[in-house]
Amino acid sequence: MLTVIGEALIDEVVRPGRKPVPHVGGSPLNVAVGLARLGHPAQFLGRFGRDAYGDMIAGHLKDNDVLVPVAPDGLPTSVARAVVGADGAAEYEFALDWELPSADGQGVPSFMPAATTLLHTGSIAAMLAPGAGQVFDAVVAAHPSATISYDPNARPSIITDAGYARAQAEKFVALADVVKASDEDLLWLYPGTRPKDSARRWLAMGGTEGPAVVVVTQGAAGPWAVCAAGEAACAVPPTAVVDTVGAGDSFMAALLGALVDRELDGAQRRDALRAMTREQLEEILRYASRAAAITVSRAGANPPTRKELQEGQPHV
């Protein structure tokens, strides 16, 4: 079982001259759906309300065969308004609440799943109090048995203090096995430092307990990654861009799915993950890039299925 912890929300997509169109979203939720569409059993731990938008979220997760152990609550479902410009890029405005069920008497989060081989989190969930502390507790609890993946997916309009965000990100990076960040994330977190240099620093963070691989997405320039064996990169497949909503999340889901396909999930496989070759890393980047390219070719956060990826090019 693959577990994703984080925010669920409604993306109200606003295009020039049109009425807002609601889409189910939230970076971690999108990753959970992306994993399920790629054929991996996934569960999503987040919060949403008992309202019309919450019903949309619950229906979307059910339709995509994502398990949801945490029931809706009495707060309003969170909303992100994505204002899409003429170039297809989206800017966000948020109205959200972020908190999860409390820990038990032993300090273990009451929502912490058993028998998960991979735990992914990031974005708002790992930054915004009070839920961010609960998510970190879940990562600590899962670390002895599961692969940990993290995507900061920085939202400066919500977390305005870059120093705080940097400290939060580094807490999660030190415990993560797999980290993905955009070049924009890294430039905001470490102004004046080249994103690749920041990624190399993250790779060294935590010593033998830190990341095995750090990936930097660079938009049309294509992804770049670093692991113990060295660096890898690939080009972005050509595609007509409708919008970029959910592209990074589709990339993240496919990146993790490729690792699971190679049986590199689970704490007992950390040594194998650290032994990844540059050639393997490049294959994984190509796979994840195809997923992102499909997503940007259609409206909203709409990750591809395994069949769609295989139709474009045989899985490597």
Domain segments of the chain: what residues?
Answer: 2-95+113-304
Cα–Cα distance measured from residue 213 to residue 227, given in angstroms and rounded to the nearest whole number: 5
What pLDDT was estimated at residue 315? Answer: 32
Sign of CA dihedral 141, 265, 44, 222: positive
Helices within 64-152 (DSSP H only): 131-142
Cα–Cα distance measured from residue 25 to residue 301, given in angstroms and rounded to the nearest whole number: 7
Provide the whole-model pTM.
Answer: 0.91
CATH T-level assignment (fold) for domain 2-95+113-304:
UDP-N-acetylmuramoyl-L-alanine:D-glutamate ligase (3.40.1190)
The amino acid at 313: Q
**Extended strands (E) in 37-165:** 42-45, 79-84, 90-95, 118-122, 147-151
What pLDDT was estimated at residue 103? Answer: 54
Cβ–Cβ under 8 Å, residues 316 and 234: no
Cβ–Cβ under 8 Å, residues 217 and 183: yes
Reading the chain (316 residues) residue by residue, the pLDDT tens digits are 999 999 999 988 788 888 888 889 899 999 999 999 999 999 999 999 999 999 999 999 999 999 998 889 999 999 988 788 877 777 777 888 898 876 555 555 566 666 899 999 999 999 999 999 999 999 999 999 999 999 999 989 889 999 999 999 999 999 999 999 999 999 999 999 999 999 999 999 866 778 999 999 999 999 999 999 999 999 999 888 888 878 999 999 999 999 999 999 999 999 999 999 999 999 999 999 999 999 999 887 899 999 998 875 433 2
What pLDDT was estimated at residue 131? Answer: 92
What pLDDT was estimated at residue 316? Answer: 28
Determine the 3-state secondary structure of 237 from DSSP: coil
Cβ–Cβ under 8 Å, residues 29 and 54: no
